[in-house]
Amino acid sequence: MAVASGMPSDDPEIRSERAYLAAARAALRRMHRDVVSTETQLTAAAEDNDNYAERFYQRLAREKRALALTDLPDVPLFFGRLDLDPGTVHPLDPGNAARSDARDRAPEAERVYIGRRHVHDGAGEPLVIDWRAPVSTAFYRATRDDRRGVRLRRRYGFSGAAELTAYEDEPLTGDGAGDAGAADAFLAAEIERPRSGPMRDIVATIQPEQDDLVRAPLERTVCVQGAPGTGKTAVGLHRVAYLLYTERDRLGRTGVAVVGPNRSFLAYIRRVLPALGEVDVTQTTVAELLGRAPGGHREDDPVARLKGDGRMAAVLHRALWLHVTRPTEGLVYTKGSYRHRVPDHEVSEIVAALRGTMRYGPGRTAAAKRIAHAVLVQMERRGESPDDRTHGAVARSQPVRRLLDRVWPKVTPEQVLFRLLSDAGFLARAARSDLTSEEQALLLWPKPARSWRSARWSASDAALLDELADLIERTPSIGHVVLDEAQDLSPMQCRAVGRRCATGSMTVLGDIAQATGPGAVGEWPELLRHLGKPEARLEVLDRGYRVPAQIIDYAARLLPEIAPGLGAPVSARRSPGALRVTELPPDGLPGAVVRTCRECLEGEGSVGVIAADAGIAAIHERLLAGGLAARSLDEDENALEEARLVCVPASLAKGLEFDTVVLVEPARIVAAETRGLHRLYVALTRAVSSLHVLHAEPLPTALAAGP
Ligand SMILES: Nc1ncnc2c1ncn2[C@@H]1O[C@H](COP(=O)(O)OP(=O)(O)OP(=O)(O)O)[C@@H](O)[C@H]1O
């Protein structure tokens, strides 16, 4: 059966399927109208109503429901159909079965259409079943050996405007029926559909090994090691949608976040969840999640690596608690003509008993209460009967606050870190034997700012500040975090992300071979330990969907050097002429880049020009001068959405993909940073159809032997 290849529109089967699609669309419009029209109008009078807040949240919830029911004109409403054995969905009424048998007619197969959301007709009968519903699992998992009640699986092909143009049947019963190759052809057609704009969902073609991860229960933290293009990001996003469907109440209260490496990556994936009907998921970067935007200070790799090291946790812990000191004098609390005294040794005992038993901030509050209690005991001895109000007033009184400012001072994370990075003596006391003297020297700022207020913090400082903030006050935890490109995080960044779902679970996605962060952990068990999820199950995805075999084999030549423990990925497809490597004289390179891009633009789909960060602006200018409408991701995170030809600095290429990639001067990418070969591996694995490598300088040894 043809695959999405425009069957004649007078084909009766196509006509009937189109009519069904039109009916489903009309039903969705009606569902949307119903939600909108039942909206409670908030009038001025309602402002005074006690229930205002409640009604406000009801309206918000309704608006979200309405948004989720909006028909996206370019997204097909269903993508598959299952014809099932009778009784698979609705249990057979024995009476009916007997009657139909009596009429000597086999009971009719049940039929369900599978789509991105549930659609029902006016009487509540389902027209389209959500892909996340239990009955839809068979669409992804049924095989001839394990039919799960499926007689026939039908997949649909659509035009760019979501018009149904074709279908392909895969019968799972009968002799010789079922063309296994048809499913693969369908998958290949889906992958090779030219890209324009941001990432698409893969809901019509989720593969069994991916489905297993998507539908893993919420309680389980899943960690996926996957070669480039094996669908990790896709799996993570579909898992969010699945969990929100099955655990909406729980996650609605506790929240879900998708954490990606940078803004351009988030811009690239931002359409997937809305297309799956989920409009309410936080998508953020690690820096944003920490809520402390780095102040633009860049530091050398060895410093960043040390600041990211897990040993810093103990150093910070000590640095904070060094602020709690032994009292040299006690408390004198005057009330009327009486002076109540709490001697220094008693304050000392109170502080010692609390120190380290709870977080720093609540510890100070508890110390104030206990000191106040000691004052109240004296009041009682004098025959007074102080109550809770007196207790609170004493705890908040100036003498108690002054005493605590000396022995348990209020501090901010910035004050503590500033002191640690600018005061060698203090650092030595906090570091003890955890850091060598050379390491301590490396940590100290060569020219400290005048005060913590004017300090400029780096990205690795942000994780240290976050650690301190959590030692002072507990960080709230959310229900589930999907952490993409996790391989790049330092131990301290892992701790920062992990504490945000300390009581929730995670989906951790990444590829050790693509680890480019200077302090990257380098192996999963340790990384999971730093995330606080040592029990997570490690799963491996090695079937690559994005990159054709010729390209992945070429890139995999770097693996023995960059990730010796990892097996080579296997590509799900080959693509003729996928790889071209061209050596040029140095003065011929810029012209060749323009010519190659022009040639690529004659074909379909997106074109990404990837080069070392330092060279990307010059390439961009050259392309513009050559009359090509190129945009640079460096300057503009929406470039992917709005242009076919995009210049990509190598440091922003991670997670992205293009139909064609023009990779310029690999040696420069390698030379630009400590983990340059890892960065090159990332850049080499971004192409869906073809990769053109253009170089004047020698290629890294592993690639030099030719394609
Ligand atoms: N089952 C599938 N059906 C169709 N397309 C798929 C499927 N799985 C993955 N893809 C496609 O393969 C490409 C790569 O997917 P994705 O970006 O999720 O991979 P990744 O493992 O996160 O890659 P990287 O490690 O490079 O970030 C995407 O275009 C995605 O849509």
Mean pLDDT of the chain, nearest integer: 87
Question: Does residue 657 contact residue 607 with C-beta atoms inside 8 Å?
Answer: no
| Residue of 233, 648, 652 best suited for mutating to test ligand 1, as the one with most atoms within 8 Å of CB | 233
Q: What is the average per-residue pLDDT within 110-120?
A: 91
Q: Which atom of ligand 1 is nearest to the CA of 236?
A: 18
Q: What ligand 1 atom has the least distance to the C-alpha of 190?
A: 4
Q: Parallel, antiparallel, or unpaired: how do β-strands 110-115 and 78-84 relate? A: antiparallel
Between CA 544 and CA 384 the distance in angstroms is: 78
What span, in angstroms and rounded, lies between the C-alpha atoms of 479 and 484? 17
Give counts: helices (H), strands (E), the chain. Answer: 31, 22
Task: State which of 191, 268, 507 you would mutate to test the pocket of ligand 1, scoring each by most atoms of that ligand within 8 A of its C-beta.
Answer: 191
- Residue 413's pLDDT band (boundaries 50, 70, 90)? very high
622-653 tens-digit pLDDT = 999 999 999 999 888 788 888 999 999 999 99
How is residue 497 written in tokens? 């992300």
Distance (Å) from CA 565 to ligand 1 centroid = 23
User: What is the distance in A from the centroid of ligand 1 to the CA of 200?
Assistant: 9
- List, in sequence order, every residue forming a beta bridge with 157; answer none if it has no partner: 166
**Local structure of residue 698 (DSSP, 8 states):** P
Comparing 155-159, 208-212, 676-680, the range with the smallest average pLDDT is 155-159
Which residue lies with its CA nearest to atom 8 of ligand 1? 231
- Give the ipTM: 0.98
Residue 1 has a pLDDT of: 39
Residue identifier of the C-alpha nearest atom 25 of ligand 1: 228
What is d(CA 444, CA 300) in angstroms, rounded to the nearest whole number?
13
Q: How many CB atoms lie within 10 A of CB 476?
A: 11
pLDDT band at 330 (very low <50, low <70, confident <90, very high): confident
Contacts 24+ apart (CB under 8 A), 364-373: 364/404, 364/408, 364/410, 365/395, 367/404, 367/407, 367/408, 368/395, 368/396, 368/400, 368/401, 368/404, 369/395, 371/331, 371/342, 371/347, 371/395, 371/400, 371/403, 371/404, 372/397, 372/400
- 604 versus 677: the higher-pLDDT residue is 677
Length of the chain: 707
Classified as helix, coil or strand, 181 is helix
What is the distance in A from the centroid of ligand 1 to the CA of 256? 22
Instruction: Compute the distance between CA of residue 347 and CA of residue 330 in angstroms, rounded to an integer.
Output: 6
688/194 Cα distance (integer angstroms): 9
The protein residue with its alpha carbon nearest to ligand 1, atom 28, reads 546
Q: Measure the CA–CA gap between 87 and 548, rounded to whole angstroms.
A: 43
pTM of structure: 0.86
Tens-place pLDDT, residues 18-76: 999 999 999 988 887 877 776 555 555 545 555 666 666 566 666 666 666 666 666 78
Please give the distance, rounded to the nearest whole angstrom, from the Cα atom of residue 243 to the centre of ligand 1.
20
Compute the distance between CA of residue 185 and CA of residue 166 in angstroms, rounded to an integer. 13
Site to probe by mutation for ligand 1, drawn from 202, 258, 484 as the one with most ligand atoms within 8 Å of Cβ, is 202
> What percentage of residues in the chain have a pLDDT greater than 70?
86
**Whether residue 525 has pLDDT greater than 90:** yes
- Can you tell me which atom of ligand 1 is nearest the CA of 685? 26
Distance 547 CA to ligand 1 centre (A): 9
Tell me the C-alpha distance between 177 and 183, whole Å.
13
Please say if the pLDDT value at position 99 is more than 50. no
In DSSP notation, 228-290 reads TTSSHHHHHHHHHHHHHHHSHHHHHHH-EEEEESSHHHHHHHTTHHHHTT----EEEEHHHHH
Pocket of ligand 1 (CB under 6 A): 187, 190-191, 202, 205-207, 210, 226, 228-234, 511, 545-546, 655, 657, 685
| Angle of CA points 302, 307, 308, to nearest 5° | 95
Q: Is the pLDDT of residue 120 over 80?
A: yes
Residue 177 CB coordination number (10 Å) = 13
The strand pairing partners of 112, in sequence order, are 82
Ligand 1 closest atom vs CA 686:
26
Containing 330, the helix (H) or strand (E) segment is: none
Please, what is the Cα angle at 115 between 112 and 116, to 5 degrees?
Answer: 150
Taking a C-beta distance cutoff of 8 angstroms, is the pair 138, 148 a contact? yes
Residue stretches of the annotated binding site for ATP: 226-233
Residue 244: its pLDDT value, please? Answer: 93
Count of CA atoms in the C-beta half-sphere (13 A) of 566: 27
Which helix (H) or strand (E) element contains residue 352? helix 344-354
For ligand 1, atom 30, the nearest C-alpha belongs to 231
- Helical axes 676-684 vs 549-556, angle rounded to 10°: 170
Alpha-carbon gap, residue 688 to 432, rounded angstroms? 52
Q: What is the pLDDT of residues 456-487, one digit of tens each?
A: 899 899 999 999 999 999 999 999 999 999 99
Residue 92 has pLDDT above 60, yes or no: no
- Of all protein residues, whose CA lies closest to atom 29 belonging to ligand 1? 546
Give the residue with greater pLDDT, 576 vs 680: 680
Whether 497 contacts 286, CB under 8 Å: yes
Tell me which long-range contacts 534-540 makes (C-beta under 8 A, separation of at least 24): 535/221, 536/220, 536/221, 536/222, 536/223, 536/506, 536/508, 537/220, 537/221, 537/222, 537/223, 538/223, 538/225, 539/212, 539/213, 539/222, 539/223, 539/224, 539/225, 540/224, 540/225, 540/226
In ligand 1, the atom with minimum distance to the C-alpha of 227 is 25
Q: Is the dihedral of CA 376, 379, 381, 384 positive or negative?
A: negative
Give kind and range of the element (H or E) at residue 377: helix 360-381
Give the per-residue SS3 of 74-122.
CCCCEEEEEEECCCCCCCCCHHHHHHHHHCCCCCCCEEEEEECCCEECC
Q: Average pLDDT in the 414-421 region? A: 97
Which long-range contacts does 391-394 make (Cβ < 8 Å, 24+ apart)?
Answer: 394/333
Q: 660 - beta bridge partners?
A: 607, 690
Q: Residue 362's CB: how many other CB atoms inside 10 A?
A: 14
Residue whose CA lies nearest to ligand 1 atom number 26: 228
Find the 233 Cα to ligand 1 centroid distance in Å. Answer: 7
- pLDDT band with cut points at 50, 70 and 90 for residue 430: very high
Bigger pLDDT: 179 vs 519:
519
Q: Considering only CA atoms, which residue is closest to atom 18 of ligand 1?
A: 231
DSSP-based three-state secondary structure for 133: coil
- For the stretch 353-386, pLDDT in tens is 999 899 999 999 999 999 999 999 988 988 888 8
Name the amino acid, one letter, at 284: T
Q: Give the max Cα distance, the chain.
A: 105
What is the Cα–Cα distance from 47 to 45, expressed in whole angstroms?
5
Amino acid code (one letter) for 157? G
pLDDT at 515 over 90: yes
To 5 degrees, how large is the angle CA 281–CA 458–CA 478? 25
Which is it for strands 480-483 and 256-260: parallel, antiparallel or unpaired?
parallel
The arrangement of strands across the sheet holding 256-260 comes to 282-285, 256-260, 480-483, 505-510, 222-226, 537-541
What separation in Å is there between the alpha carbon of 234 and the centre of ligand 1? 6
Ligand 1 centre distance from Cα of residue 64 (Å) = 28
Q: Which atom of ligand 1 is nearest to the CA of 657?
A: 29
pLDDT (tens digit per residue) in 293-315: 656 667 888 999 999 999 999 99
Amino acid residing at 638:
N
From residue 559, how far is each of 204, 207, 276, 464, 677 by CA, in Å? 32, 26, 35, 32, 9
Nearest CA to ligand 1 atom 15: 231
How far is the centre of ligand 1, averaged over its atoms, from the C-alpha of 571 (Å)? Answer: 12
